[in-house]
């Protein structure tokens, strides 16, 4: 038997990849966005590749905000940009 591998789509580049290869971001109750390292937090989620380019596109072109239906504060945006740079 072949085990099912969940697939998710990167909101920046649109590539479909296994869920474990992407980083999940989740909208929290206060309207902010946090990185969900475990992939199981409650809340509306979106996925980004671990490539720095995808983080830049997702955050600068507001694709992440559109998908999560929220508005990022400047502080929250900078925090996520720093996290994306650490991945690369």
Name the token pair of 41.
């937090």
Query: What pTM value is reported for the model?
Result: 0.91
E strand or H helix that includes residue 52: helix 52-60
**Which residue do the tokens 């955050």 mark?**
59
CATH code where residue 25 lies:
3.30.1230.10
Q: Is residue 2 part of a domain?
A: no
Residue spans of the chain under pLDDT 70: none
Query: Given this model, what pLDDT does residue 33 score?
Result: 93
Q: Domain residues for 53?
A: 7-87
Q: Is residue 66 part of a domain?
A: yes
Name the token pair of 4.
């099912």
Query: Given this model, what pLDDT does residue 25 score?
Result: 96
* Domain total of the chain: 1
Q: Is residue 1 part of a domain?
A: no
Query: Given this model, what pLDDT does residue 26 score?
Result: 96
Query: Given this model, what pLDDT does residue 31 score?
Result: 84
Name the token pair of 6.
């969940």
- Closest listed residue to residue 45, CA positions, set 74, 21, 16, 19: 19
């Amino acid at each position: 038997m072949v085990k099912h591998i969940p697939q998710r789509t990167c909101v920046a580049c649109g590539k479909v990849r296994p869920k474990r290869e992407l980083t999940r971001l989740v909208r929290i109750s206060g309207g902010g966005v946090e990185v969900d390292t475990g992939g199981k937090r409650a809340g509306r989620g979106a996925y980004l590749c671990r490539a720095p380019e995808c983080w830049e596109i997702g955050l600068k072109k507001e694709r992440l905000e559109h998908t999560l239906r929220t508005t990022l504060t400047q502080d929250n945006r900078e925090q996520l940009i720093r996290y994306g740079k650490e991945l690369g």
